[in-house]
């Protein structure tokens, strides 16, 4: 393990939802409005517009998921700019950008950030005492991986 990454009291939360899960995410956001407003919110295109309308707050919007938004959020995770991911993905329908979705979820695990993919897990996450305090997020030491010998 390397030195932990400290998640501050004000977290940066990525909010993502596939088309058939947007209503579920908006309903969940409505139920948790007071807990979300103190934090910085990031979302993919259409989802971000819906969140702004329902919460009345500014949301940092990246591209729509199929146009690269999932990859943009993945990059933000890898650069330490995202603290939490709430991603209501649709397990019942194939997405044209399934590889991007898998990559985003994979990066969340690689960088050990809290993630929720359904309302129940999101409820547990948002109600955690860590949401309003700092949290030391342990980070895996990837030095050996980065220094590995690459054969030509």
Q: Is residue 4 part of a domain?
A: no
Range of the domain at 74: 10-133
Q: Is residue 24 part of a domain?
A: yes
Task: Return the higher-pLDDT residue of 27 and 142.
Answer: 27
What's the token pair of residue 99?
Answer: 């590889």
pLDDT at residue 1 in the model: 66
Q: Is residue 1 part of a domain?
A: no
Mean pLDDT value of segment 3-32: 94
**Tally of domains in the chain:** 1
Q: Is residue 146 part of a domain?
A: no
Predicted confidence (pLDDT) at residue 15 exceeds the cutoff of 70: yes
pLDDT at residue 123 in the model: 98
Give the tens place of pLDDT for each residue, 56-114.
989 999 998 888 898 999 999 999 999 999 999 877 576 666 777 788 999 999 999 99
Burial zone of 148 (CB within 10 Å; 0-12 exposed, 13-18 middle, 19+ buried)? exposed
Give catalytic residue positions: 70
Question: Can you give the pTM of this predicted structure?
Answer: 0.91
Cα–Cα distances in Å, from 45 out to 52, 70, 77, 127, 139?
A: 11, 10, 17, 26, 29
pLDDT at residue 97 in the model: 65
CATH assignment at residue 129: 3.40.50.1380
Give the tens place of pLDDT for each residue, 114-144.
999 999 999 999 999 999 999 999 998 888 8
Q: Is residue 118 part of a domain?
A: yes
**CA-based radius of gyration for the chain:** 16
Q: Is residue 98 part of a domain?
A: yes
φ, ψ (nearest 5 deg) of residue 45: -35, -80
CA dist., res. 69 & res. 74, Å (int):
8
Q: Is residue 152 part of a domain?
A: no
Give the tens place of pLDDT for each residue, 29-58.
999 999 999 999 999 999 999 999 988 989
Biggest alpha carbon–alpha carbon distance for the chain? 54
């Amino acid at each position: 393990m390397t030195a932990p990454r400290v998640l501050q009291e004000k977290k940066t939360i990525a909010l993502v939802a596939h088309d058939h899960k947007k209503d579920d995410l908006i309903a969940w956001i409505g139920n948790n409005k007071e807990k979300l407003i103190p934090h910085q919110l990031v979302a993919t295109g259409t989802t971000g517009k819906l969140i702004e309308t329902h919460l009345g707050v500014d949301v940092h919007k990246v591209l729509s998921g199929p146009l690269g938004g999932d990859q943009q959020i993945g990059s933000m995770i890898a650069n330490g700019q995202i603290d939490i991911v709430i991603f209501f993905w649709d397990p019942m329908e194939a997405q044209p950008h399934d590889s991007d979705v898998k990559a985003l979820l994979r990066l969340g695990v690689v960088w050990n950030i809290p993630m929720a993919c359904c309302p129940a897990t999101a409820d547990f996450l948002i109600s955690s005492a860590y949401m309003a305090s700092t949290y030391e997020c342990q980070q895996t030491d990837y030095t050996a991986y980065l220094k590995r010998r690459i054969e030509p």
